């Protein structure tokens, strides 16, 4: 199933339209748009970037009653330059005008995430490290934002709490402070519940815990807020054992290359979804003969 056909996306568009219309009408359209008026619309990029979310135009216009044909849009993941036409459509003027902002809000935000993801991927090119997102998403937008991350060439971490174990510091706080009960004990408990094939990730803040969590059966070790020197030491300590190392915490475009060059396998950053600037898109309409 396409992410755009997912019930979460359909419900999200419905909620966004409700914000604008509140079970009422577009007061401006009611006053100035003739009932049979038709428009042709062109959407252009006003800045360079990576596109994502344009298929939502069809969902938006359909939920408003239809009568708009989307005649072309560029595929998710396409790199565009300033001035490029990215979507064209034509049809009922009232539907186009009612749906314009809702559609652009989605497409601009998702394209911004795809653009930032591509910049991170390009920053670590050749190192072997993979860029991943996190659960630091806008409530309700998670599936679409994670799709945008993938459109930009990066990778998705777990989707939610339901699809992968990730033992964090606040889980570990329940284990007790001594060596036998810390992160390694949390790993052992999860391994006992979910079996030998489960993907189990654990966060550590001290390299003294690395050997212990590996021996306990961790699949991935999240190295939280460690500088490049500590990350290099972790990679050396890991040696050839079959466990992935993931760096996270305070990572920026300015620092990600140096982090990738330490030899870690994965780098996760919430910036992809919580702080990506929107990509500027604009829609311009012209009248069509009835």
Residues 69 and 203: their CA atoms lie apart, in Å, by: 49
What's the first-to-final CA gap in the chain, in angstroms?
Answer: 37
Q: Residue 140 class from Cβ within 10 Å (0-12 exposed, 13-18 middle, 19+ buried)?
A: middle
Query: What integer pLDDT is reported at residue 111 of this predicted model?
Result: 98
Q: Name residue 69's beta-bridge partners.
A: 90
CA distances from 142 to 7, 24, 51, 149, 263 (A): 13, 28, 17, 10, 29
Verify whether residue 178 is a known catalytic residue: no
Q: Do 208 and 232 form a contact (C-beta atoms < 8 A)?
A: no
Is the domain of 94 the same as that of 147? no
For the segment 175-202, what is each residue's pLDDT rounded down to a tens digit?
Answer: 876 656 799 999 999 999 999 999 999 9
Provide mean pLDDT across the span 126-145: 97
Is the domain of 70 the same as that of 177? no
Is the domain of 233 the same as that of 171? yes
For the segment 193-234, what is each residue's pLDDT rounded down to a tens digit?
Answer: 999 999 999 999 999 999 999 999 999 999 999 999 999 999
Is the domain of 211 the same as that of 105? no
Query: What integer pLDDT is reported at residue 177 of this predicted model?
Result: 62
Candidate list 44, 130, 135, 136, residue with the active-site label: 136
Is the domain of 158 the same as that of 257? yes
Verify whether residue 100 is a known catalytic residue: no
The CATH number assigned to the domain holding 51 equals 3.90.1170.20
Query: What integer pLDDT is reported at residue 289 of this predicted model?
Result: 78
For the segment 234-277, what is each residue's pLDDT rounded down to a tens digit?
Answer: 999 998 899 999 999 999 999 999 999 999 999 999 999 999 99
Is the domain of 160 the same as that of 260? yes
Is the domain of 148 the same as that of 262? yes
Of 185, 184, 133, 139, the C-alpha closest to 159 is: 133
For the segment 52-81, what is each residue's pLDDT rounded down to a tens digit?
Answer: 999 999 999 999 999 999 987 899 999 999
Verify whether residue 191 is a known catalytic residue: no
Candidate list 100, 133, 185, 203, residue with the active-site label: 203
Candidate list 168, 189, 191, 232, residue with the active-site label: 168
Is the domain of 84 the same as that of 131? no
The 266-268 sheet, strands edge to edge:
130-132, 266-268, 244-248, 220-224, 200-204, 165-167
Query: What integer pLDDT is reported at residue 285 of this predicted model?
Result: 96
Q: Do 220 and 199 form a contact (C-beta atoms < 8 A)?
A: yes
The CATH number assigned to the domain holding 137 equals 3.20.20.70
Contacts of 86 (CB under 8 A, 6+ apart): 43, 44, 45, 51, 54, 73, 74, 78, 80, 281
Q: Do 190 and 199 form a contact (C-beta atoms < 8 A)?
A: no
Is the domain of 134 the same as that of 161? yes
Verify whether residue 98 is a known catalytic residue: no
What's the pLDDT band for 23 if we cut at 50, 70, 90? Answer: confident
Query: What integer pLDDT is reported at residue 33 of this predicted model?
Result: 95
Candidate list 205, 224, 261, 280, residue with the active-site label: 224
Full domain range(s) for residue 157: 125-274
Query: What integer pLDDT is reported at residue 179 of this predicted model?
Result: 57
Verify whether residue 203 is a known catalytic residue: yes
Is the domain of 100 the same as that of 147? no
Candidate list 26, 58, 101, 233, residue with the active-site label: 101
What is the count of structural domains for the chain? 2
Is the domain of 59 the same as that of 138? no
Is the domain of 284 the same as that of 251? no
Query: What integer pLDDT is reported at residue 73 of this predicted model?
Result: 83
CA distances from 192 to 59, 93, 184, 189, 200 (A): 45, 61, 12, 5, 11
């Amino acid at each position: 199933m396409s992410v755009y056909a997912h019930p979460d996306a359909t419900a999200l568009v419905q909620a966004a339209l409700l914000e604008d219309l509140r079970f009422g009408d577009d007061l401006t359209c009611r006053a100035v748009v003739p009932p049979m008026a038709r428009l042709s619309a062109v959407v252009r990029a006003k800045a360079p970037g990576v596109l994502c979310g344009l298929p939502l135009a069809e969902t938006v216009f359909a939920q408003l009653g239809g009568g708009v044909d989307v005649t072309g849009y560029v595929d998710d993941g396409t790199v565009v330059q300033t001035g490029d036409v990215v979507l064209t459509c034509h049809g009922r003027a009232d539907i186009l005008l009612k749906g314009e902002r809702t559609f652009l809000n989605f497409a601009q935000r998702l394209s911004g995430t795809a653009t930032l993801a591509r910049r991170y991927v390009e920053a670590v090119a050749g190192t072997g490290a993979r860029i991943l997102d996190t659960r630091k998403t806008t409530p309700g937008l998670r599936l679409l934002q994670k799709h945008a991350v993938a459109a930009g060439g990066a990778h998705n971490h777990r989707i939610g709490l339901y699809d992968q174990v990730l033992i964090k510091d606040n889980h570990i706080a329940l284990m007790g402070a001594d060596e036998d009960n810390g992160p390694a004990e949390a790993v052992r408990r999860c391994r006992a519940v979910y079996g030998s094939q489960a993907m189990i990730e654990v966060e550590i803040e001290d390299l003294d815990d690395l050997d212990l969590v590996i021996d306990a059966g961790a699949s991935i070790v999240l190295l939280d807020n460690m500088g490049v020197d500590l990350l290099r030491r972790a990679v050396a300590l890991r040696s050839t054992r079959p466990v992935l190392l993931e760096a996270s915490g305070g990572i920026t475009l300015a620092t990600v290359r140096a982090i990738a060059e330490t030899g870690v396998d994965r780098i996760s950053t919430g910036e992809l979804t919580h702080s990506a600037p929107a990509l500027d898109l604009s829609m311009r309409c012209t009248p069509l003969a009835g």
